[in-house]
Amino acid sequence: MGEARNQLRWADGKTIKNEVDLQVLHLLGPKTEADLEKKPKVRLETWMVFSCDMGTETQSLLEQLRGEALKFHKPGENYKTEGYVVTPNTMALLKQHLAITGGQVRTRFPPEPNGILHIGHAKAINFNFGYAKANGGVCFLRYDDTNPEKEEEKYFTAIREMVEWLGYQPYAVTHASDYFDQLYTWALELIRRGQAYVCHQRVEEIKGHNPPPSPWRDRPVEESLLLFEDMRKGKFGEGEATLRMKLVMEDGKMDPVAYRVKFTPHHRTGDKWCIYPTYDYTHCLCDSIEHITHSLCTKEFQARRSSYFWLCNALDVYCPVQWEYGRLNLLYTVVSKRKIIRLVETGAVRDWDDPRLFTLTALRRRGFPPEAINNFCARVGVTVAQATMEPHLLEACAREVLNEQAPRAMAVLEPLKVTITNFPAPKALEILVPNFPADDSRGFHKVPFHQTIYIEETDFREVRQDYTALTPGATACAAEAWQHWKRCCGRVIELEVTCTKSDAAEKPKAFIHWVSEPLACEVRLYERLFLHKNPEDPSEVPGGFLSDLNPDSLRVVHNALVDSSVRSARPFDKFQFERLGYFSVDPDSKEGKMVFNRTVTLKEDPGKA
């Protein structure tokens, strides 16, 4: 356990322990009385980790995925993989496969188009597309559109948009529905071979791991063929009949469903079908059709590996190899579609792209660069074990990228008017300010300097003190000394100051930022949406995740001011506002009122670590 935590020192300790317990249970089964006897303590050996050194010198994702790094099989050498089932036809099928692919690596990213992608999907995208890219191969984007009840066109569009936003181009965009005719033909063949049958047990009867055996398991082949045709013609109601495959899965589940009745029009095939294939039936066969070499999926699908091999071999078709890797989870958030819908319905968030969520559309709207998300996935590494990470690690990746990408500008969140009584020019001066102070070659922008400027209200103190701001009698920025200030309702609302040339004044006590002739804007400041690390854990949050919402997760500053130099910025453009943080232009911006989202502060808040 100690070695595992050392290898994954950013991961949550509780989650590591749970993962180890699950793996031990899967390998050894439930504890017996002998196991419960007290024994001398022994050290847990290292977790199997493909490449996960979370040190500062993290390998790039392509380096982690290239060549022999993962010990994956070479294209056409599927049979060398442990557990791969070899049949009399295997070598001939692999020879045909190599003739079609030319020995090229082929992967696929197969999301269900019934929700928006989240940070966990970013790892899957990087792994599938990254492995293909690192090894000179191609990756398909295949929509697993086998459940017409929950699929919407907006999800298809958003998924592809996010894949491309992360920097990947699919070799081809396909759909499981592209292969419905072939899948149906194969289902008939499976029945003819005595490997599938029509069953009338209800869903509630076959739930769980130990349901009663189907009384229709041994029904004659011809009878199942006729009944399956009746299913296709709509002669059975939903739940009255299913097509089941004759196999026992690795987790003990018996005879998984291959087809079920659904009287729901499909977004692509319309009313042509009233029966739809399941994941267990569709996935491996679509991989076979597309000649996928490496079927990469998260570890919860390990229990389906045996059915994956079984089905391809039962039909005598090319059988790819399934490889599993650990999921990526994040603390202080929820990512399940059902829970995000509840957040939207209750008004806790605006929509799937609310910047407090960790969907990819939300991260883009908040201002996270795609490079930062990819770098985060690289730092997590390609692990067999599930990784649960702190959000501040993702934020650190964002700072690294934004520091290089985001030009500088100035903004004031709580403006305090300052009038320079001895301003040395009859009209505003123009000051050239570098976009990136450390590199003048990356250009400049003009900032007006007028008799009236605005500073942060918190950058003025009435009583002189050892304070890095503007105080009576002190020098700060371009303003020196003070004459008087104006009050309203107990607050200082305006200052009158004098200015002195820098070469004639004493060294400033402080440097503060300011704006002159600014644009009015709205600024949205975000904090964590939930108060606890695991809002879905009843032991941490007995009242459920909706009871754990942070009341201070969003603060809107309606009357902020920003440099006029950002006037031409477009949605998702990013800036570093001096002394405040990194900000991104929100799509809600309109003529005369820009809206900015704070992506991250300039430095990590120690309280969040």
| pLDDT range class, residue 508, cuts 50, 70, 90 | confident
Q: Provide the pLDDT for residue 425.
A: 85
User: What are the contacts of 74-80 at 24+ separation with CB within 8 A?
Assistant: 74/103, 75/101, 75/103, 75/104, 75/105, 75/106, 75/293, 76/103, 78/293, 78/319, 78/320, 78/321
Q: Provide the pLDDT for residue 500.
A: 82
The alpha-carbon radius of gyration of the chain (Å, integer) is 30
pLDDT per position as a tens digit, 118-171: 999 999 999 999 999 999 999 999 999 999 998 989 999 999 999 999 999 999
d(CA 151, CA 303): 26
User: What are the contacts of 200-206 at 24+ separation with CB within 8 A?
Assistant: 200/240, 200/241, 201/242, 202/239, 203/239, 206/255, 206/257
Mean predicted confidence (pLDDT) in 16-22: 68
Is the pLDDT score of 34 beyond 60? no
Q: Which residue has the tokens 């890095």?
A: 468
Q: In the 3-class helix/strand/coil scheme, how is 403-463 assigned residue by residue? A: HHHCCEECEECCEEEEEECCCCCCCCEEEEEECCCCCHHHCEEEEEECCEEEEEHHHECCC
% of the chain residues with pLDDT over 90: 68
Which residue out of 5, 14, 77, 112 is catalytically annotated?
A: 112
d(CA 62, CA 132): 9
| pLDDT range class, residue 61, cuts 50, 70, 90 | confident
Contacts of 60 (CB under 8 A, 6+ apart): 378
> 102 in the Ramachandran plot: left (φ > 0), alpha (ψ -120 to 50) or beta?
left
The yes-or-no answer on residue 108 being catalytic is no
% of the chain residues with pLDDT over 70: 84
The yes-or-no answer on residue 71 being catalytic is no
Which residue out of 14, 337, 408, 509 is catalytically annotated?
A: 337
> Max CA-CA distance within the chain?
102
pTM here is 0.85
Instruction: Tell me which of 598 and 381 has the higher pLDDT.
Output: 598
Q: Provide the pLDDT for residue 25.
A: 60
Which residue out of 66, 327, 342, 350 is catalytically annotated?
A: 327
| pLDDT range class, residue 381, cuts 50, 70, 90 | confident
Q: Which residue has the tokens 């398991």?
A: 217
**309 in Cβ contact with 85 (< 8 Å):** yes
Mean pLDDT taken over the chain: 87
Is the pLDDT score of 41 beyond 50? no
d(CA 527, CA 356): 7
The yes-or-no answer on residue 235 being catalytic is no
Mean predicted confidence (pLDDT) in 9-38: 61
Q: Provide the pLDDT for residue 531.
A: 97
Is the pLDDT score of 605 beyond 90? no
| pLDDT range class, residue 476, cuts 50, 70, 90 | low
Q: Provide the pLDDT for residue 313.
A: 96
Is the pLDDT score of 478 beyond 70? no
d(CA 482, CA 609): 41
pLDDT per position as a tens digit, 277-292: 999 999 999 999 999 9
**492 in Cβ contact with 564 (< 8 Å):** no
| pLDDT range class, residue 105, cuts 50, 70, 90 | very high
Q: Provide the pLDDT for residue 52.
A: 36
| pLDDT range class, residue 24, cuts 50, 70, 90 | low
Q: Provide the pLDDT for residue 499.
A: 84
Is the pLDDT score of 56 beyond 80? no
**415 in Cβ contact with 559 (< 8 Å):** yes
Q: Provide the pLDDT for residue 386.
A: 84
| pLDDT range class, residue 387, cuts 50, 70, 90 | confident
| pLDDT range class, residue 50, cuts 50, 70, 90 | very low
